Amino acid sequence: MPIGIIDSGVGGLTVMGELLNRMPNEQFLYIGDDARCPYGNRSPEEVVTFTSEMIEALHRFGVKMVVIACNTATAFALKHVQEIYDFPIIGVIEPGARTAVETSKTERIVVLGTTGTVKSEAYDQAIIAMANDAWVHALACPEFVPIVERGVYKLEEADRVVQQTLEVLSDETFDTVILGCTHFPLLAPFIRKHLPEGTQLITSGSATADTVIHILDQKQLQRTKIMDQQSTFYTTGNPDHFKLIVQDWLQCEDPIVKQLVL
Ligand code: DGL
């Protein structure tokens, strides 16, 4: 059976890239809810409803586990859906927080996220649970996701928005920054450019892949043979636009992209 991945839009592709590299034998089904993106400004109840709808769709397709490759959905809906389904469901906040705590030498950590993720304080709590003396500053970056969804993440407009948003950090001292939204790795070159030199940028993809591999091993669910089934991408938005971002980010020549109505 395939592994399901969900996000509010194209952001989860940044996690899927890691999963594809580390698990070349696995088949993935990806759902991006681009029609209702961004989730970052929505109420917790809406995020729980939309996340549950995507996981129910994956359940009907048939999956052996699900990765919620969206920080906002992880913050608000992970516990809820874990109680409903009997296949493993994991999020991206714990893996990202763990990597940051392991990486930071000063335990002064900045989290960049959506308004919802920042308000939920999910990263603050996860980091403090692992390093109780850590200093955590979470900064909402509500303008980043629309830039990525529109596909203009390499343009000068993106550079300008990133610079303006990160300006408030100029008086702070920190050595590690978590990209606490899966859309943000697409803006990483600009984010790096506008942070002090030597700052460690943390994405949750690699630590999330470690967790997936561990669960598949434990439950003996990993695929051992390469099969002929290609991964499939579903979007509630425009499949042609979605395809362009898959091709760019995953260097995948002819991905199967379909429209899904939730
Ligand atoms: N990619 C998502 C995240 O990691 C959500 C972005 C959004 O829809 O606001 O938080």
Atom of ligand 1 nearest to the CA of 75: 10
Q: According to the model, what pLDDT value does residue 225 have? A: 77
Mean pLDDT, range 144-150, rounded to an integer? 95
CA 204 / ligand 1 centre spacing (Å)? 13
How many Å lie between the centroid of ligand 1 and the Cα of residue 227? 32
Rounded to whole angstroms, the Cα distance separating 25 from 197 reads 38
Q: Atom 2 of ligand 1 has which residue's CA nearest to it? A: 70
Quickly count: other Cβ atoms within 10 Å of residue 128's Cβ. Answer: 16
44/68 Cα distance (integer angstroms): 15
Rounded Cα distance between 176 and 169, Å, is 12
**Percent of the chain having pLDDT more than 90?**
93
Q: Is the dihedral of CA 81, 87, 88, 90 positive or negative?
A: negative
- For ligand 1, the distance from its centroid to the CA atom of residue 73, given in whole angstroms, is 7
pLDDT at 230 over 90: no
Compute, in angstroms, the gap from residue 114 CA to the centroid of ligand 1.
Answer: 6
Which sequence spans correspond to the domains of the chain?
3-91+206-259, 93-204
Distance CA 224, CA 211 (A): 18
State the closest ligand 1 atom to the C-alpha of 41, by its place in the atom list counted from 1: 9
93 CB within 6 A, ligand 1: no
> How many beta carbons lie within 10 A of that of residue 243, not counting itself?
17
Q: Please tell me the total number of residues recorded for the chain in this structure.
A: 262
* Dihedral sign, Cα of residue 41, residue 43, residue 44, residue 46: negative
* Rg of the chain (C-alpha set): 17
- Res. 226: pLDDT tops 80: no
Decide whether 3-91+206-259 matches 93-204 in CATH topology. Answer: yes
Report which residue type is found at 231.
Answer: S
Statement: 93-204 belongs to CATH 3.40.50.1860: yes
Answer yes or no: is pLDDT of 153 > 80. Answer: yes
Tell me, rounded to whole angstroms, the distance of Cα 45 from its chain centroid: 20
229 band by pLDDT with thresholds 50, 70 and 90: confident
Here the tokens at position 165 are 């948003």
Q: Decide whether any atom of ligand 1 lies within 6 Å of the 190 Cβ.
A: no
Q: Tell me the catalytic residues.
A: 70, 181
CA of 224 relative to ligand 1 center, distance in Å: 32
Provide the 10 A C-beta neighbour count for residue 52. 17
DSSP for 134-187 reads: -EEEEEE-TTHHHHHHTT-TTSHHHHHHHHHHHGGGGG---SEEEE-STTGGGG
Provide the residue type at 58 as one letter.
L
pLDDT of 111 reads 98
Beta-bridge mates of residue 177 = 110, 201
Atom of ligand 1 nearest to the CA of 70: 4
Can you tell me the mean pLDDT for 128-147? 97
The pLDDT, as a whole number, for residue 228 is: 67
Is 88 touching ligand 1 by the criterion CB < 6 Å?
no
Q: Are 117 and 75 in contact (CB under 8 A)?
A: yes
Question: CB of 38 within 8 A of CB of 145?
Answer: yes
| Ligand 1, pocket-test mutation among 16, 68, 70, most atoms within 8 A of CB | 70
- Structurally, at CATH architecture level, domain 3-91+206-259 sits in 3-Layer(aba) Sandwich (3.40)
Give CA–CA dist 186/182, Å, rounded. Answer: 8
Alpha-carbon 203 to chain mean position: 8
Residue 105, token pair as written in the block = 């030498």
